[in-house]
A and B are shown apart, each in its own frame.
Chain A
Amino acid sequence: MEKSKLIEMYKTMQLIRLIEQRINDEYKYDEIKTPIHLSIGQEAVAAGVCIHLRKDDYIFGTHRSHAQYIAKGGDIKKMIAELYLRKTGCARGRGGSMHLVDPDVGILGSSAIVGGSIPLGTGTALASKLMNNDRVTVVFFGDGAVDEGTFHESLNFAALKKLPVVYVCENNFYAINSHQLSRQVGDNIYKWAQNYGMPGFRIDGNDVLEVSDYAQKAISRCRRGEGPTFLECLTYRWKGHIGTVDDVGDGYRPREEYDYWVSKCPIKWFSEFLKDTGVLTDEHIKNIDQEIYDLIDEAFNYAQNSPKPSPDELLNFVYAD
């Protein structure tokens, strides 16, 4: 992989991490009046996949979609303004954290209904096929979405029609507090996909190089018109399901499990890899991080100083013109 792309992936992961940490820090002031679902710990999946997408490719996400939005190149100022529910937000204050959108870079929205965006992404892939273009769709969802009928119905259809869609399951093992094994007989989600008639792989979702490698192959396969691929990326969210709470110990997730995954931090590992291989130095990393901090400051300032929607706009956008 070219050096520039390696650096780009680092930047993306670090941007996701630092934005989410800032959201985490600001949340207590009650100005971000929308439920938030943080992806801290899961950054490598979005970064490793989206590095191979073009601007005109589509992605769909879930309630936990900050990472994908950032990785696909969604406008950061409009994202933060949306979290602050301002008129300048990407969804004009109608969506909030769970409904980020930026059609200019192929982000057509995300659904807060578990499994809800899987058919939608299958549909944009159908459109690519019917319009005979090579735009690829990636649908991101969690292990909880695999419980839903939409997962099974959509994968069957995508395989049947050989649609250019990559299904990326960020398996963080938990649907709120319910462990995967309390919801499913086995722990081999990717095998379901195989049985629907598409290549399915289970990979280390904290290893951005592995994610990138599999995603590149899957996306190329789509562009060649050979149909969908399924990637089950094993990863872990550091924060609780929602908000800024921690859900470790005291009957929640086991402390040892959490510690293990924190020790497998995708960013720490990758930045060390980049230093060991001479791609980046400490000085480089410091500069990159400073640029990111500046960008985040700018976005939060923009959001906090943006106007809120006025009540007389309430009925706008129920219907499109």
Chain B
Amino acid sequence: MPWTTVQVEKLDNFFIKGDSTGDRVLTYRDALHEAFDQSMERDTKVFIMGEGVDDIAGVFGTTKGLKEKYGSNRVFDTPIAENSLTGIAAGAAMAGLRPVFIHARMDFLLLSLDQLVNHASKWCYMFGGKVKVPLVVRTISARGWGSGAQHSQCIQGMLMNVPGLKIVAPATPYDAKGLMVSAIIDNNPVLFVEHRWLHKTTGNVPKEMYSIPIGKGVIRREGEDITIVAVSYMLVEALKAAEKLQESGISAEIVDLRTLKPFDEEILLESVAKTGRLLIADTGCKTGSVASEIAAFAAEKAFHLLKKPVKRVCCPDTPTPTSDVLEKAFYPGDEHIFNVAMNLVKK
């Protein structure tokens, strides 16, 4: 069993409430699987490629059995050549297909930046809108179990600086399915940011196919005293922190942007107008993070609404350590969010 699976199996089964009214419960992983299955069923132009997508494990179960159902032309293994494979997927997209290319670790995405940044993301603009690149690049970040500096990175912040690239980071099973469907339908390169620790999260997911608009955030929990924007897996930590804050008499509003680029400015402004305090929790390192961008946005557009300085809860600017002791010190969790939030609301 892969080490990340060992780690993830040890996690509590976190249930996300209130995402949809149905009573059908799926894990994040199975919701993604359903998104692929239904998208491939609906459109023969959709195909999945990447290292190990057709093996028995099926990318942590998310692509399991799809080769058997749709054939090896539509679900196939690739050489370990991240950069060229990204370009190959982009080329197939230019010719009218809808590829989903998978990196089992977000760290590996760094090998593909030439094709992703210099090519796929710029192609539409550089050619005056004449050629589209409907490409989905799926990446999975991991955490814990000594993943170390090269198997744990969350570099979504770095990639917000790339014009032409859309970035989504769903945190719930409902959003995972709906945003994957949207990413596949979208006519642009979309980076689909997953976190391994979300794969086991459960929530309500309708059986029918649906999409969630890219660029629309959602309020996960209403509150009055502080806005907590949580990115990807940090949503789970933020929801836990909000429970504790409630016990201390503080009402936290949790904003889940779901799309990091272009992000929902309106939902942020509305929430900050209500609370006057902003804390952003991101899975990546602090400098140049998603949290930094949101903080800058708040400084530009919401300064008059803020009662206190913006706070960021991120990983420190160090490579990820491997020691379990250092790992514990490296990763912020619900306690950290709780403490920073308490300080912010303190009179």
Q: Which residues of A contact B (CB under 8 A)?
A: 58, 60, 89-95, 99, 101, 103, 108-109, 111, 113, 116, 118-131, 149-150, 153-154, 156-157, 160, 316-321
Which of B73, B95, B97 contacts A58, CB < 8 Å?
B95
> What is the CA–CA distance of A261 and B145 in the complex, to the nearest angstrom?
62
> What is the CA–CA distance of A125 and B97 in the complex, to the nearest angstrom?
11
Residue of A nearest to B135 (CB): A123
Which of B88, B133, B164 contacts A122, CB < 8 Å?
B88
Shortest beta-carbon distance from B104 to chain A in Å? 18
Q: Is the CB of A95 within 8 A of B126?
A: yes
Instruction: Give me 29 A-to-B residue pairs in the complex whose CB atoms sit less than 8 angstroms apart, sorted by A's number.
Output: A58-B95, A60-B91, A92-B128, A94-B125, A99-B127, A101-B128, A103-B131, A108-B95, A109-B127, A111-B119, A113-B118, A116-B119, A119-B91, A122-B84, A123-B94, A123-B95, A126-B91, A127-B92, A127-B97, A128-B95, A130-B73, A150-B115, A153-B83, A153-B85, A156-B79, A318-B164, A319-B164, A320-B133, A320-B134
Centre residue among B85, B118, B127 by max chain A CB count within 10 A: B127
> What is the CA–CA distance of A168 and B93 in the complex, to the nearest angstrom?
22
Contacts of A154 in B (CB 8 A): 84, 87-88
- With A318-B124, A320-B124 in contact, is A120–B129 under 8 Å at CB? no
Contacts of B73 in A (CB 8 A): 129-130
Shortest beta-carbon distance from B71 to chain A in Å? 10
Which of A116, A126, A157 contacts B118, CB < 8 Å?
A116
Q: Is B213 an interface residue (CB 8 A)?
A: no
Q: Is the CB of B94 within 8 A of A120?
A: yes
- With A124-B91, A124-B92, A319-B188 in contact, is A157–B84 under 8 Å at CB? yes
Residue of A nearest to B45 (CB): A131
> What is the CA–CA distance of A263 and B39 in the complex, to the nearest angstrom?
59
Contacts of B125 in A (CB 8 A): 94, 317-318
> What is the CA–CA distance of A110 and B25 in the complex, to the nearest angstrom?
47
Q: Is the CB of B83 within 8 A of A150?
A: yes
Residue of B nearest to A165 (CB): B91
Total residue contacts A-B, CB cutoff 8 A: 149
> What is the CA–CA distance of A150 and B83 in the complex, to the nearest angstrom?
7
Contacts of A160 in B (CB 8 A): 79
Chain B contact residue count (CB 8 A cutoff):
42
Shortest beta-carbon distance from B185 to chain A in Å? 12
Q: Is the CB of A153 within 8 A of B124?
A: no
Q: Is B47 an interface residue (CB 8 A)?
A: yes
Q: Is the CB of B128 within 8 A of A122?
A: no
Residue of A nearest to B73 (CB): A130
> What is the CA–CA distance of A25 and B326 in the complex, to the nearest angstrom?
65
Q: Is B163 an interface residue (CB 8 A)?
A: yes
Contacts of B93 in A (CB 8 A): 123
Q: Is the CB of B123 within 8 A of A109?
A: yes
Contacts of B87 in A (CB 8 A): 116, 118-120, 122-123, 150, 154
Contacts of A92 in B (CB 8 A): 128-129
- With A91-B126, A113-B118, A156-B81 in contact, is A123–B89 under 8 Å at CB? yes
Q: Is the CB of A120 within 8 A of B114?
A: no
> What is the CA–CA distance of A205 and B53 in the complex, to the nearest angstrom?
42
Which of A101, A122, A319 contacts B166, CB < 8 Å?
A319
Residue of B nearest to A313 (CB): B128
Q: Is B96 an interface residue (CB 8 A)?
A: yes
Q: Is the CB of B84 within 8 A of A101?
A: no
Within 8 A of A (CB), among B124-169: 124-134, 163-164, 166
Which of B78, B81, B118, B127 contacts A95, CB < 8 Å?
B127
